[in-house]
Each structure stands twice: as structure tokens, then as C-alpha cells.
Structure 1
């Protein structure tokens, strides 16, 4: 009986990296989690126990640390592109690499003498995301936000909804609206200003939530 191996991938999940840049008086702290997934010619590993085409997941983890040490992180989309292109270019049997990065924000603490140069507090539940996929000479980037908690104390209504015999909810034209937002978008190019675009998109999301009657 012939055995056919379908599409498959393997990688290293949730490599935690806290990177501190001390090159200036005011330190900069980055807190990210990186998950890698490699696709390609790994049939012999699954069917014959031949690992000659398998780059260890421990090596993938070490690569994340090395790239952060040698070139910093920059925008997480750019960091993901650097990593994915490296894995595809340096392993001929790897045809595609996918990097998923989650970044948690930290802010410098305000003190009586001003903003602290090297003391930080972590932001609440909100986090920034990037998913980068490189297939040989093609690449695409999906960015996003998760865990963004929003609330408006008025400017929302709920009425005209479907009813059945179990419906007891009363219609209202004035209510509190609270939600946790998860949103993703795909960039049309990879040579763009990720940081400023991210900030602009986040601002539009918040302004729309605040201004638009729901």
C-alpha cells in the first residue's frame, strides 16, 4: 500500500524574547513572542526517520535570539521578514517559512523627576501582532491588534432584533457598549513604514469606535 504524505510543517512555538537596548540614556525594552513554522521537503523524516532535512527547533529558537542580538528587532513585521527569508534562503529543502510574532507593550514609569530612563510598566491586555510568510521570492505580511478593551458609556443601541418565545430582552436606544477588539489587516507591500501605519490604523479604529453611533 502506497503512503502519501500531505502538506505538513513543523516549527518552534512561542519563543519568548525580552530585548533591552541600552545604547542611549533612555533604555528601550521590547517584549515579543515568536513562533516559527517551516514547510518543504520533509517526507523522509516522516516516512523513513531520516532527519537530514530537519532544522532543529532549538536552532530556530537560537536564530531568533541571534537575530535580535545582531540586528535588533525594529518593527516586528521587519523582524519576521528577516527571519523567514533567512530560513528559506539557508535551507534548500525549506520552501516556505511562516513567522508569527506577538508584542506586548511597556511604557517608562513617570516619577517626580520626570519619565524614568530605565524603569517600565507593562501595558494592559492589548498586544500587537504580525504574521509573515515567505515562499521563496514572495512574501506577505498580516499585521494586527489583539486584546484591545474598549467601552463607550452611550452612543449605542440594540433594537429591531429577531424574537421567539424565549426572548425577554427589552429594546433600547441608549446602552453601554464594551468589547474586546481583535483585528488583522494585510499589507499590499513589504517595503513600507510599518510603525507609522500601525499607529495610524490603531488611531482610526479608536476614533471610529468613539464617533460612530452603534
Structure 2
């Protein structure tokens, strides 16, 4: 019997397209007082896109240039109340206005500005805040919403109340036990809301963000730490315990090591005063904290969010 050796056609898998990193700055002029929203918006769309991959037919393709224009038009038409709300407007528009598009994912970075206060009446000067970058990802498939907020590059430090000892030791262990050390990290965190899409029950996104950050920082500052893992859990647990709108928190915390400098060659005693700040290699501690009964949705690799 002859064997059919005709090769099968490769099958298209998961795919999406869109316009990445649309930088939009929205100014609201309230007389002499101005307000700024500064966003970096990435749009990703998926749906009935087989033909464009197999044959090059663009019949179902909304141009990425159009998605870019939509971001800017919506900044004018809807304003930017918050990163989350702006992303919700965009995701709903793309899925409900274009039949071939079944799912929209909007990723947003928000850059904060502080007003420069002067003795004059004008209040239109700002300085870029140098703390964290605020993040949001909104996903909508026509029925189900998922809103994940977060932040990155928030650098924090405890100059005491941290220890690290009692760990496993083997032939290659050289690290001395520490009973009073600096604990520093650069927080990358995401948290998933349990909001289902009802506008009347939507959280106050800005208030929620500020409160999450507040609980995160308070837990970091108030936890007497025997390990960075313990501190991470305390940060996530305090958010879950205090913010009922959130079901999942994920942190990625690099341990920004500070090592005591040996000053004995110079005849000096180093009583936990002078440290060498090492940028690499670094310990990387990651974990998810969940509300009891909930399943994890946030990817382990936060760079993919």
C-alpha cells in the first residue's frame, strides 16, 4: 500500500498584532492650573486573522496606524481619568467596533509628574517624579474582563531590622551569617482585580493604586525581616487583607546586596557604617500571594505582562 508522503500544512498558532508604545500626553487646562497625564500605551489585537497570515489578505486587518490614531483621539474624546479606565475604553472599542477582533489587550505605563510650586499664580510647571513607573494591563474578549495593575522600579531600603542566618551550608558556601544588615530591593509588582466589568462596581483606580502602594511600603518598613521571602509575603498579604478588590499579587524582588567594606587594612573599624553596593549578580526572589480560593493568573515572568 502506498504511503501518502504529502507533507501537512503548518498550522497557525496564537497570534496578535497592534501598535506598541504610543506616547500620549494629555493636558487639562483648568484656568491657570494645568494637569498632566503622561502614558505609554501598547495595543495588541487578536481574532479572525488566519487569512492575513496564510494568504496576505488584509480584509480583516485594522491597520496599526488606526490603533495609534484611536489612542490619541480617545485621549481627547474620553480624557484620561486613570490608566486603567483609559485602557478599558480602548479595549471595549476595539472588540465591539470590529467584528474580526475577538480580544484586545492594552498595556499602559504611566509616568508621574509633580507640580513645581511657585509664589506666582501660574501652576503649569512640573518636574518628573523619579520613583516608580505605574503599570496597567486591560484584557477584554467581548465577555470577560481582566484588569491587572502594577508598578516597577520602586527602590526601597531598610538600613536595619534585617537578618539572614541559619541557611544551608555546603562546600561552596562562603557567605557569613548576618544579624544586622541592609535590606534593599527594586520592587516590580502586579495585582489582579476581581472586577467583572460592571461600571457601577468599578474600583476607584487611582485610590486603589495609592492604597496598594501604601500597604506595600508599610509592610516593607514594618516587617522585621529574617529573609526577603518573608518580607515579600508580608507585602502581598497586607494588600490582600486590606484591599477587597484584589485577588492576586505577584512580586519580583531583586536583592540589592550591600556588603560591609573591609576597612581594617587602613586601621579603621567598620561598625555597620560603610557598604559596597553591588549591582550584580543579585538574588532574585519571586512569588505570588493569592486570596484563599483564587487561582493564579499573573505570569511568573512579569516582563511578559
**Length-normalised TM-score, structure 1:** 0.95
Q: Which runs of 5+ in 1 are unaligned?
A: none
Q: Match for residue 68 of structure 1? A: 75
Runs of 4+ in 1 over 4 A off after TM superposition: none
Counterparts of 1:59 and 1:33 in 2: how far apart (Å)? 16
2:218 to 197, 202, 207: 207
Higher relative contact order (CA 8 A, sep 6+): 1
Q: RMSD across aligned C-alpha pairs, in angstroms?
A: 1.4
User: 1:116 offset after TM fit, Å?
Assistant: 6.0
User: 1:24 offset after TM fit, Å?
Assistant: 3.6
Number of equivalent positions: 213
Aligned 8 A contact 1:64 1:83 in 2 = yes
Q: Match for residue 105 of structure 2? A: 98
Structure holding more strand per residue: 1
Residue correspondence of structure 1 range 15-34 to structure 2 within 5 A: 15-34=22-41
Structure 1 residues 165 and 140: alpha-carbon distance in aligned structure 2, compared to 1, 3 A threshold: same
Counterparts of 1:7 and 1:205 in 2: how far apart (Å)? 35
User: 1:114 offset after TM fit, Å?
Assistant: 7.0
User: 1:125 offset after TM fit, Å?
Assistant: 4.3
Q: Match for residue 176 of structure 1? A: 182
Counterparts of 1:17 and 1:8 in 2: how far apart (Å)? 26
Q: Which runs of 5+ in 2 are unaligned?
A: 1-7, 226-305
Aligned 8 A contact 2:117 2:123 in 1 = no
1:129 to 135, 144, 164: 135
Aligned 8 A contact 1:109 1:115 in 2 = no
Q: Match for residue 61 of structure 2? A: 54
**Length-normalised TM-score, structure 2:** 0.68
